[in-house]
Amino acid sequence: MAATIIDSRIFGDIFSDARMRQVWSDENRTAKYLDIERALAKVQGELGLIPQEAADEIVKNCELSMIDWDQLKAKTEQIGYPIIAVVNQINANCRDRLGEYCHWGATTQDVTDTAAVLQMREGLALVEQDLKDISDALAALAQKYRDTPVIGRSNLQQATPITFGYKMASILAGMDRHRERLQQLKPRVLMGEFGGASGTLSSLEKGAMETQAALMKELGLAQPLISWHTVRDTIAEVGAFLGLVGGSLGKIAMDVKLMMQTEVGEVFEPYAPGRGSSSTMPQKRNPISCLYIHANISVARQHVAALMDAMVADHERSTGPWEIEWVCLPEIFCLMSGALKQTKFVLQGLEVDATRMRANMNITHGLVMSEAVMMGLGPYLGREYAHDLVYDLCRQALAENRPLIDILEAHPEINQYLSRSQLESLCDPVNHLGQAGVMVDRVLAAHAALV
């Protein structure tokens, strides 16, 4: 019976993704234990450290189908760790006591940590694909709406005009930086562990480093320079990376939520009959995916902090901080998989109302163009004087509920320098989008190069 939102039969595929749940499932975790024990026996047989007959027998019996799950559960509860329980079953299935060579020179944490790294590798591959899909969706929106004006907002107030393509491109640039970070961190974090009791491989009199190197090569992982049983920066780095990604997804969700407000109505989550409806208000269209994104990334962020706590480990093998990772790391991955899935859904089907965007720019009757007017008057009146003058005229326009351009045209200090048509040009948002288009093009070019 599922007790968490991640494994819920009802909510599981909203808050997470089935593929990521599989990565962190008991079955896959145990399969990774078997992969490691299989690889260890194989390489030690090849190196002549254990009899080849034993290596072959162990390899043959490292199969998930042979695991007795009830026995594994009971033994894990008795011992506190599952590795010995798995090794016991492999040993029992091998003939002629050849299984006694299983786990030769290894310690529980070697297998546990390396299995976690193998799971992280699978999980990060899913994250990588989702990030690419999200980036591609952002790029398509940036390209399509490169020149579509929308009001920029500062402190939730209307600021100066931008384009919707610029808004999407700015988020795209950050998303592509995450993709670069992922490539940069892989060589550091996809590193296995094989160090024995205190990390020095004292359990093997010969062939210790050769075993470590061959094992990591067999598993496709980096070989550590030194054991990292209680130096947990790589695990925390993965969590921190996912936390950063979550922040960017939260930014997307926040903007979409705000732009979906009835009074704004500039973009909407993809429509489906009944989606976002209210039990009492039939007119409602709530931003459902954005709500889940916000919830997921907030909880994941708290788990990232817990991974930082897990770094404070004692001596060469820790007493408790290690287990924090067992709880938090899978949940971070699963929650982030849900946030990524929901973000992809929102962006790939985002509804954009360019007409409403333009209408919203006009609700202040030209006040949002005050910066352009100030800069246009600067050469004649001086920038500071023009600023104060335009400030006063904006207050007048508000008080009299008149278009700013009418106030400007009637003012004697202005009309001696600028005609009505010149003022109209200054007050047209399309003429004052700055370098938005240039910046969009630069981001799209960088995105194309990254792909």
**Which uninterrupted H or E stretch holds 120?**
helix 108-144
Tell me if residue 224 falls in helix, strand or coil. Answer: coil
The answer to whether residues 342 and 289 touch, using CB atoms and an 8 Å cutoff, is yes
| Cβ-Cβ contacts under 8 Å for 54 (sequence gap 6 or more) | 41, 45, 94, 98, 99, 100, 101
**Which uninterrupted H or E stretch holds 169?**
helix 164-189
Tell me if residue 207 falls in helix, strand or coil. Answer: coil
Whole-angstrom Cα distance, residue 118 to residue 122? 7
Q: Largest Cα–Cα distance in the chain?
A: 106
* Exposed / middle / buried, residue 207 (Cβ in 10 Å: 0-12, 13-18, 19+): middle
Whole-angstrom Cα distance, residue 377 to residue 379? 6
Q: What is the DSSP string of 145-164?
A: TTT-EEEEEETTEEEEEEEH
**Residue-level length of the chain:** 451
The answer to whether residues 35 and 218 touch, using CB atoms and an 8 Å cutoff, is no
Angle at 148 between CA 354 and CA 357, to 5 degrees: 35
Known catalytic residues are 278, 317
